[in-house]
Chains A and B, each alone.
Chain A
Amino acid sequence: MPMREGIYGLIAEFDTPTELVQAAKAAYASGYRRMDCYTPYPLEEAAEAIGFDEPTEKGVARVCLIGGLIGGCAMFGLETWVSIWAYPLNIAGRPMFSWPAFIVPAYEWTILFAGLSAAFGMLALNRLPAPYHPVFNAPNFRDGATTDKFFLCLEAADPKFSVSESRAFLESFRPVSVVEVDH
């Protein structure tokens, strides 16, 4: 892989989730889009603060819904095909197309496909598994992000990003530190 120029971004370290959410909201409001929050435990408000709730960001929900619909239709279709065309059997005089009996497996497949597509869709949309991620180059990240620190990383790929202005912006929220992250 060729060497990339410049830095990956600027990462600010906070002591409390409240400060992180405030900084992230302000960053989103002032036009930053390429950024991410890193916290030791799931923090819904952080996701909302960086625009995860915007309709364009609801990838997992959409993948899950489509997966569920495909699963349900596939099983219902399979049962219909088997019972009407492939192996039509007269079972206790019931109609060939006995839809009430088809509902149960179709329902199970809906759940199965929705669950699997949510899990794998989430991994794919997060580009996981990722053997390498630049934020680990920040010296204070490795310990803090898994214990008691809250990080906001503004990425250099954002058109609004500039090393000096973005640093001043982050420092206005009084973080513990602002560190440049190498690629």
Chain B
Amino acid sequence: MSNEHGHHAKHLPADLSAPASVARWRNRALLVALVFALLAAADFYLHPGDLSLDYVLRGWLMGLIVCFSFAVGGMALLMVQHVSGGKWGLLIRRPLEAMSRTLPLVFLMFLPVAICVKRLYLWARISNPEEALRAGVINAIQAHAIAYKRPYLNIEGFWIRGIAYFAIWGIFIFILNRWSRLRDTDTQHSSWYWQKRFENLSGAGLLIYSITLTGASIDWVMSLDPTWYSSVYGLLFLVAQGYAALAMVILITLALSQDEPLKSIFRTTEQHDLGKLCFAFVMLNIYIAFSQYLIIWSGNLPEEIRWYMDRITGGWGYVIGLDFAFHWLLPFTLLLSRDIKRNKRRLATVCCIMLFARFLDTFWLIAPNFADIHHNFHFSAELLQYIFVPAAMTGLWVAYMTHQLRQRPVIAINDPHLPEILEPEHAHA
């Protein structure tokens, strides 16, 4: 805990803009993006094969899903903290807003996926399932599923729904960010007036978010295997998104707290709260993931169990084992400890583990959908694109996020919690 036990509340520094270190992160992130982009290009040109471009696209899809989690998950957490209130929300509000404002970049990342939809998605590639079945390209189950789901899974629908999702999230992100700027300069209304406005917008927004996210997760990831479905998939995706966005925003906040102005409002109490929230997400994520597995495993029906067989047998057991360890076992056991939640460096380590787990889990969700590797995990030069392309895209995303972070003061001032968060830690208890 803090050693400062002064009787007086601290004062906000005069300059609330992001510290100079943020520009350094941007340069570093751009360098990472460049290095991995070059590696991806080298891998593409040095190992030409039938599937070279496919693997680039698959890696691109994985990068899209990860960056999408940070941007739209950031928006969702922003809404959650507006609805729930609390000093932890004030602390991470501006980083969350910066994360949400990266949506235009994520939309640009979405375009190649939508343009190359036929290369990535089996249901888009097969225009006539019956013919493809006779030609032996797909099996009877796939032919039936593709024909049956055609009214939903078609290329026009994919484009229209995708653009609609981005438009809806864009409207919410625009209003949330615009109001937040107006709120800081507003002298006429009390902060409670704004709090109510944000609450009303965010309450409706969270409902719409959960519906649109379910749709997006089905379109972009679940439909890679057109035969399979799971009713909890959208919720699982939503929790995973919160998991990723929370780990990311804690890392950003911890890094910002090294310097003024965030240093003056950063207290161990709120860090501890964020650590507890991480723990809740770690538990919720494994709870839902295991429920889905338990139900499908118990049912043992041919149309469902194959999805897991593709992902567990034939070498994939190691991947899911690592995923389990990094997604749940390590963060769970570490976050049990109060000291780890209250220590900046250690909490940052846990958040890095959580982010790595998200990468691994996204890989595990996407890669085994494709016929050349499911049931048969093997190393190939192309497989490295699952590292190179997402790493380059994440580097670019971080650079753009730091750019957004520098656009505004990193502390929201017109908030009833601000005087409280400036007080010494024990005085308010």
B185 interface hit (Cβ, 8 Å) = no
Q: Provide the A73-101 mask, 1 if CB < 8 A to any CB of B, else 0.
A: 00000000000000000001010000011
Q: Chain B, interface size: which category?
A: 10 to 19
Q: Which of B100-108, B195-203, B257-265, B421-429 contacts A (4 or more CB under 8 A)?
A: B421-429
Chain A residues near B338 (CB, 8 Å)? 61
Residue contact A44 to B294, C-beta cutoff 8 Å? no
A146 interface hit (Cβ, 8 Å) = no
Residue contact B429 to A45, C-beta cutoff 8 Å? yes
A103 to B1, CA, bound (A): 37
Out of A43, A46, A53, A101, name the residue touching B298 (CB < 8 Å).
Answer: A101
The smallest beta-carbon distance between A148 and chain B, in angstroms, is 14
Q: Which of A5-13, A17-25, A27-35 contacts B (4 or more CB under 8 A)?
A: A17-25
B228 interface hit (Cβ, 8 Å) = no
Out of B1, B339, B424, B429, name the residue touching A43 (CB < 8 Å).
Answer: B429
Residue contact B297 to A43, C-beta cutoff 8 Å? no
A18 to B427, CA, bound (A): 6
With A21-B5, A45-B1 as contacts: A103 and B294 at CB distance below 8 Å: yes
Out of A18, A94, A101, name the residue touching B5 (CB < 8 Å).
Answer: A18
A129 interface hit (Cβ, 8 Å) = no
Out of A25, A44, A65, name the residue touching B429 (CB < 8 Å).
Answer: A44
Chain A residues near B1 (CB, 8 Å)? 45, 48
A100 to B5, CA, bound (A): 51
Out of A92, A94, A103, name the residue touching B290 (CB < 8 Å).
Answer: A103
Out of A18, A48, A104, name the residue touching B424 (CB < 8 Å).
Answer: A18
Residue of A nearest to B429 (CB): A43
A159 interface hit (Cβ, 8 Å) = no
With A18-B5, A100-B293, A103-B290 as contacts: A42 and B429 at CB distance below 8 Å: yes
Residue contact A92 to B300, C-beta cutoff 8 Å? yes
Chain B residues near A103 (CB, 8 Å)? 290, 294
A113 to B38, CA, bound (A): 54
A132 interface hit (Cβ, 8 Å) = no
With A22-B5, A48-B1, A101-B298 as contacts: A17 and B429 at CB distance below 8 Å: yes
B7 interface hit (Cβ, 8 Å) = yes
Residue contact B294 to A104, C-beta cutoff 8 Å? yes
Residue contact B426 to A45, C-beta cutoff 8 Å? yes
A43 to B424, CA, bound (A): 13
The B-contacting residues of A in range 96-112, CB under 8 angstroms, are 100-101, 103-104
Which of B297, B300, B426, B429 lies at the interface centre, i.e. has the most chain A CB atoms within 10 A of its CB?
B426
Residue contact A18 to B7, C-beta cutoff 8 Å? yes
Chain A residues near B424 (CB, 8 Å)? 18
Residue of A nearest to B342 (CB): A53
With A45-B1, A48-B1, A101-B298 as contacts: A18 and B293 at CB distance below 8 Å: no
Shortest 5 CB-CB contacts between residues of A and residues of B: A45-B426, A100-B297, A100-B294, A43-B429, A17-B426
Can you add 9 more A-B contacts, CB < 8 Å, to A43-B429, A45-B429, A104-B294?
A18-B7, A18-B427, A21-B426, A25-B5, A41-B429, A44-B429, A45-B425, A48-B1, A61-B338
